[in-house]
Structure 1
Amino acid sequence: MVQPPSLLWFRRDLRLTNNPALQAALRDGKPIMPVFILDEESDGHRRLGRASRWWLGQSLTELDTAIAQLGGRLILRTGPTLATLRELVLETGACMIHFNRRYDPPGSNLDRQIIEALRGDGLAVEDHAPNYLHEPWQLQTNQGDFCKVFTPFWRRLSQHVGPPATHRAPRAPHAWPACENWPSSGAIEHFQYKPAWTENFAHHWQPGEAGARHRLQHFLEDGIDDYPSKRDYPAIEGTSRLSPHLAWGEISVHEAWHSAEPAKCSGAVAFRRELAWRDFNMHLYFHYPDLLRQPWRENFRKFPFRKSAAMLKAWQQGRTGFPLVDAAMRELWQTGWMHNRMRMVTASFLIKDQLIDWQQGETWFWDTLVDADPAQNGANWQWVAGCGFDAAPFFRIFNPVIQSVKFDPQGDYIRRWIPELAALSAKEIHQPWAVPEDRLAATNIQLDRTYPRPILDHAKARQTALAAFRQVSGRSSDAAEPDLFS
């Protein structure tokens, strides 16, 4: 008699090691049928950005190969999730479904509907902990509310995280508890989305569990000790670059957390704080479902943002005339990623210099980041805009020239992404518009032809932004608004 299989439903947990749903399915002892469903039709599913689709295709290819080496198959389907799961149950006779739950409000709402419907069909359905350090209902303030400020959240989270349950992936060939009858699957090639502008991504990334593990090990061996002092400098590899691997669940965040033991490396606490920010942003989104649609601070809902397609396009294309901003936007386009400090600089420029709605920036990042995540995107854009929880004050307006001098002092980052300015000296490269004409001619730079002049005056833009802020906040003067350029 053929034993009915368990469906193992993969989502943003594309790994075999330390995967709670897989471990539960293995404990059941039934044949395991791994499934991935690309659902861009159901309510609650935000259509993936193009960069994320590229990463997903590569990661699924790696997961499919890993499962095949163990004697299994990854079943790929597209369509509405509930209907697709029901089809698979009918085709395979599956009696159990395991998956790792989601915390984003649209996703968790859909999960509840799916669980209720499938249990109503008579199936056993088990959801398991996803790739975060805590469950969002676990950490509360002394008043019993959810945490809206990072520092107390960090203290509570640090005390809450316990030793991880370490589960190795099946290792030996034919170790996968395989099924007798496999249903049809979509071709992996149909999931490998490769728009022309992503052709260089493969030079910068190795999607999949093996790439995630290599990235973590490299960081632990060569980067974490200097992490606090180097993480703000975009020209050097001072960060972990784990964000897309964590976003797609290719490595356990618990493993990353516990690999960085404070007793072993000086940068461990700083690294763990960044992992905690990831949890904090998800925590906020879970408790504030309008994170992507509405500012938390209600007065910002009337902020007089501009609508300028030309200004937005200049920012998107890295043609603002401010080299640090443009270098960062070009890094994003060519690699699908941007250094964290550069994300703050470019976001501040869009919102406070150009006075363009933060949601326009969030939408662009969603489409072009390989680590795009709704909670991280929404919370971080609201943080820079000054309209979210525990946000930077609105009057913290980054000066792109001072940021450039401070964090790219030799201009190496700018030269990497804006080669047309490479001949300028470390002193000149931050403000090419201030370089004498004869010097520009000697370096074959023609402003407004080979590189644009600034599209705005930062000092004037800052004053305009502060006036708009006073308009919505009711302040009568900016006496308490320091000129923050750090």
Structure 2
Amino acid sequence: MTGAIVWLRDDLRLADNPALRAGIDHGGHVTVVYVLDDESPGVRAIGAAARWWLHHSLAALDAELHDRGSRLVLRRGAAADTIDQLVADTGAEAVYWNRRYGAAEREIDAGIKSSLTDRGIEAHSFAANLLWEPWTVLTGQGEPFKVFTPFWNAAQAMPEPRHPLPKPRDLPSPARATGDSLGDWDLLPTTPDWAGGLRDTWEPGEQGAARRLEHFVDHALEDYDQRDEPSMDATSGLSPHLRWGEISPYQVWHRLHERLEPDQRKQAPGFLRQLAWREFNWNEYFHCDDIATVNVRREFDAFPWRRASASELERWQQGRTGIDLVDAGMRELWHTGAMHNRMRLVTASFLVKNLLVDWRVGEQWFWDTLVDADAANNPGNWQWVAGSGFDAAPYFRVFNPERQLERFDPHREYVRRWVPSDEDRPEPMVDLKETRKRALDAYDRMRHA
């Protein structure tokens, strides 16, 4: 018996990996492969910060595989051609993977499955990265939910998510197959190397994800009701680990349900609701996969966006708007590759409403600078702020950064962390009151267009 290929994508873990378990159960060699596909039509190339994360996540995964008598095979190219070649190289009798949910990715995977099965090669996909697959949580009329709360209520009425699979202690040896060197992929920044803050902040990989979860449960969950305060260590920090599949939502769900102390359990529902928001965005993306480029609410096609100058955009990107909370958030993003969720709302609202810049401009900047940017949540959340998406905030809800500062960072602890008090600050680039009125007027013009 020759064995199987396990094709990893956004599931860079050994624990709770149904495709890997299927490969082991098949018998024979198990060849674990990651394909860097930047050639297939419709697949969005990942941003620079995500490339940094991917490099280190793959390195960590390869080390874990080596510890279990295996290794990670790296190949680059269009997935269909690359998997076909690897099947030929290894003589594999089966290929297993965990499902993806974008239209282009689903089409690629379906084509590969059809091609393999036509040649008598077993091909199976599995549910691994969402608690509820997008076709399972529907309205009474069989339609996808367009509002989060009914989606969450329906999801809670579903059977409990399955328990996670254990991490294998040992793995069968891989078949003989050549692969690329990770360093040859040039995923890391070099000239200049701007990733120092990312290295100081994150530990990519499955072990780093497990440590993040334990830290959150042991030290931050009890303060989760203060999560809107950016100076507090009250958020999980799990979003990039979930984005890259270094931990599964099943692991997070059951860790909170089964292992929390009784006095901590009251905090779990709030966090699980945030986990469900991630699922809601993926549900919507499955049914409307062009959300990074097209307004969900098509009336926003008539919105009179401004064409901002390069200098205006740079001031926002670099945290030099003269608005303290906005600048603190944008600097946190640049330094760490992430941003507190409250700050994501504030900085996005400032760009879309106070500067009147098309949300797609901001979405692309976040796509390039966030380590946790994914195809569903990044555009879904930008459309929420803009008012153009599913269950979106009303357009007339304009986050006032000064009031947000008073409410959520009253002692300026967060602002001082990122904007030194002795810094020579620029004048605010806009008047918040006037630009709020301008945004509301623009919205009225759109409504009557």
Structure 1: 4+ residue segments shifted above 3 A: none
Counterpart of 1:238 (choices 206, 231, 234) is 234
AA matched with 1:31: H
AA matched with 1:298: R
Counterpart of 1:131 (choices 116, 129, 132) is 129
Task: Tell me, in whole angstroms, the C-alpha distance in 1 between the residues paired with 2:337 and 2:437.
Answer: 33
**Per-residue deviation, 1:191:** 4.2
Counterpart in 1 of 2:327? 326
C-alpha change, 1:161 and 1:44, in structure 2 (3 Å) is farther
**Per-residue deviation, 1:138:** 0.7
Task: Tell me, in whole angstroms, the C-alpha distance in 2 between the residues paired with 1:338 and 1:182.
Answer: 43
Q: Contact 2:163–2:254 (CA<8 Å) still a contact in 1?
A: no
Show the 5 A alignment for 1:227-306.
227-228=224-225, 230-261=226-257, 264-306=264-306
Task: Tell me, in whole angstroms, the C-alpha distance in 1 between the residues paired with 2:3 and 2:428.
Answer: 62
AA matched with 2:277: W
Show the 5 A alignment for 1:417-436.
417-419=418-420, 422-423=421-422
**Per-residue deviation, 1:120:** 2.6
AA matched with 1:296: V
Structure number with greater Rg is 1
C-alpha change, 1:161 and 1:106, in structure 2 (3 Å) is farther
Q: Contact 2:128–2:248 (CA<8 Å) still a contact in 1?
A: no
Show the 5 A alignment for 1:39-58.
39-58=37-56
Q: Deviations over 1:261-280 (max 9, x none)?
A: 28552210000000000000
Task: Tell me, in whole angstroms, the C-alpha distance in 1 between the residues paired with 2:246 and 2:186.
Answer: 17
Show the 5 A alignment for 1:452-463.
452-463=426-437
Q: Contact 1:40–1:47 (CA<8 Å) still a contact in 2?
A: yes
Comparing 114-123 with 298-307, which one deviates more in the overlay? 114-123
Aligned: 1:85 with 2:83: yes
Counterpart in 2 of 1:434? none
Q: Contact 2:12–2:246 (CA<8 Å) still a contact in 1?
A: yes
AA matched with 1:232: D
Q: Deviations over 1:394-418 (max 9, x none)?
A: 0000111111111111111111111
Q: Deviations over 1:330-375 (max 9, x none)?
A: 1000100000000000010000000000000000000000001010
Counterpart in 2 of 1:33? 31
The alignment's TM-score, normalised by the length of structure 1, stands at 0.88
Task: Tell me, in whole angstroms, the C-alpha distance in 1 between the residues paired with 2:230 and 2:176.
Answer: 48
Counterpart of 1:193 (choices 187, 204, 218) is 187
Aligned: 1:467 with 2:441: yes
Q: Contact 2:24–2:171 (CA<8 Å) still a contact in 1?
A: no
AA matched with 2:436: R
Q: Contact 1:102–1:130 (CA<8 Å) still a contact in 2?
A: no
Aligned-residue Cα RMSD (Å) equals: 1.4
Aligned residues: 441
Match of 2:222, SS?
coil
Q: Contact 2:131–2:161 (CA<8 Å) still a contact in 1?
A: no
AA matched with 1:327: A
Aligned: 1:357 with 2:352: no
Show the 5 A alignment for 1:108-147.
108-147=106-145
**Per-residue deviation, 1:94:** 1.0
Task: Tell me, in whole angstroms, the C-alpha distance in 2 between the residues paired with 1:164 and 1:9.
Answer: 22
The alignment's TM-score, normalised by the length of structure 2, stands at 0.96
Task: Tell me, in whole angstroms, the C-alpha distance in 2 between the residues paired with 1:259 and 1:192.
Answer: 36
Percent of counterpart pairs with the same letter? 46
Comparing 120-129 with 280-289, which one deviates more in the overlay? 120-129
Aligned: 1:336 with 2:337: yes
Aligned: 1:204 with 2:201: yes
Task: Tell me, in whole angstroms, the C-alpha distance in 1 between the residues paired with 2:219 and 2:74.
Answer: 37
C-alpha change, 1:163 and 1:363, in structure 2 (3 Å) is closer
AA matched with 1:146: P
**Per-residue deviation, 1:106:** 2.0
